[in-house]
Amino acid sequence: MLLLGQGLLGCGSWSWSRRSAGPAGLLGQTNREDPALSGNGRVLASLVERDGRPTVLLHEQPSGRELPLPQLRRLQPHRSPSLSWNGRYLALLVQQGSRQLAVIQDRATGQLHRLPLPGDQDPERLSLAPDGRRLALEVVRQGRSRVELLDLAPLLEPDLPATPVSGGGRLP
Amino acid sequence: MRGLSPIAAGSRRHRHQLVTAAIGRLSLLLAASATLLLGGCLGPMPQPLLGLNSRLEAIGSSRAPALAGRWLALIGGRDGREQVQLIDLERQLPVPLPGLNRPDAQPLAVAVDGAGEKLALVRQLEGRTELVLYRRSLMALEPIAMQPAGVPRRLSLRADGRELAVEVSRGGVWQVDLIQVP
């Protein structure tokens, strides 16, 4: 649920209109972390504790309706969500057994793409290009962070601003 | 050993050719099946962008990536001196960000819009953590106050640059603020 917040507030030479993404938990005392907006702003991803583990939730904007993500259950803790333009693709880091893994959930087809990483690299953060063509992955190797880019063109159809979403009909 | 009659020898050669052809077809079928099975299991795989990755390697350490359009924003540098960098992925070159980086500021998180015009940044400066918006065409930096007061951390900018989602700590609880960007 979204709570519409304050109206226009003056700040310097520009004014900023704000609202809260809404409380997590009944009394608003649960953390909501690591937000990610889809390119068109119609979907917000954030991390909320479910059963004691950080879990990615998707909320349609501005209604606040929660969107289902059944395939990501049992892959917590989730980290670093990132969305494509229309929110068709959700990229994030998950835990599978003892391994951390980058995955991309295609919400139009229901497919979960697992992206293999070399064994000696720990993924820290990721960012999905809004069109779904590239993924930037921050990995730590021998204590040093570095960003690497992956070409997703062999894997994903583009998710473009003017492209109507087809298949599954599960998108807002 | 008696030789075979020409007819019997021809018949045996024919059978041999038939068996050889059948084995050949079976091998091809097995190879194609194996390829299909492997393809089905592994599927198309993402490929590392080797040229761009070697350019990124030259930056030194790099972290907190944000992709939008042809742009990659990140925090990177050598010898612990980190700066916000914006890389044009088509030209494979960093672009200048005059007025954004300060030697006394520590960048924590960055986001960029799809036009490469707006960069949102959380940084520590003089003991405070602040959220600022940088417009590249104006080379101008504008602070965005947290209201109610809070400490910002990670953030996300819509690809169309119209809205910012910011993680803010208030009273020991992390919340998410959505801020319209004028």
Span B33-71, pLDDT tens digits: 443 344 345 578 899 999 999 999 999 999 999 999 999
Q: Is the pLDDT reported for residue A11 higher than 60? A: no
| Cβ proximity of A77 and A53 under 8 Å | yes
Residues of B in contact with A82 (CB under 8 A): 156
Number of other CB atoms surrounding residue A6 within 10 Å:
12
pLDDT band with cut points at 50, 70 and 90 for residue B12 = low
CB B129 within 8 A of CB B108: yes
Q: Is a pLDDT exceeding 50 seen at residue A16? A: yes
Reported as type and span, the H/E element at residue A148 is: strand A144-151
More confident residue, A16 or B83: B83
Q: Which two tokens stand for residue B16?
A: 């041999």
pLDDT of residue A19: 83
Across the interface, do B178 and A36 touch by the CB < 8 Å criterion? no
Kindly tell me if the per-residue pLDDT of A37 is higher than 90.
Answer: yes
Residue B164, pLDDT > 80, answer yes
Are the beta carbons of B165 and A35 separated by less than 8 Å? yes
Token couple for A20: 């809260």
Q: What percent of chain A has pLDDT over 90?
A: 65
- CB-CB under 8 Å, B144 with A16: yes
As a whole number, the mean pLDDT across chain A is 85
Task: List, for residues B111-141, the tens digit of each pLDDT value.
Answer: 999 999 999 999 999 999 999 999 999 999 9
Residue identified by tokens 């070399």 is: A118
Give me the phi and psi of B28, to 5 degrees please: -60, -40
- B142 and A12 within 8 Å at the Cβ level: the answer is yes
pTM: 0.82
Question: pLDDT higher for A16 or A13?
Answer: A16
Taking alpha carbons only, the member of B173, B169, B100, B176 closest to residue B134 is B100
* Banded model confidence at residue A29, pLDDT cuts 50, 70, 90: confident
The three-state secondary structure class of B70 is coil
Shortest distance between the Cα of B12 and any Cα of chain A, in A, equals: 50
> Largest Cα–Cα distance of chain A, in whole Å?
51
Average pLDDT of the residues of chain B: 85
What percentage of residues in chain A have a pLDDT greater than 70? 82
Query: Environment class of residue A121 by beta-carbon count within 10 Å: exposed (0-12), middle (13-18) or buried (19+)?
Result: middle
- B 3-42 residues inside an 8 A Cβ radius of A: none
Does the pLDDT at position A166 exceed 80? Answer: no
Scan for tokens 């063109």, then name that residue: A153
Q: Which of A30, A37, A149 sits opposite B165 (nearest CB)?
A: A37
Judged against a pLDDT cut of 70, whether residue B23 lies above it is answered with no
Q: Indicate if the pLDDT at residue A81 is higher than 50.
A: yes
Measured distance CA(B143)–CA(A11) in Å, rounded: 8
Percent of chain B with pLDDT over 90: 73
Does residue B167 carry a pLDDT above 60? yes
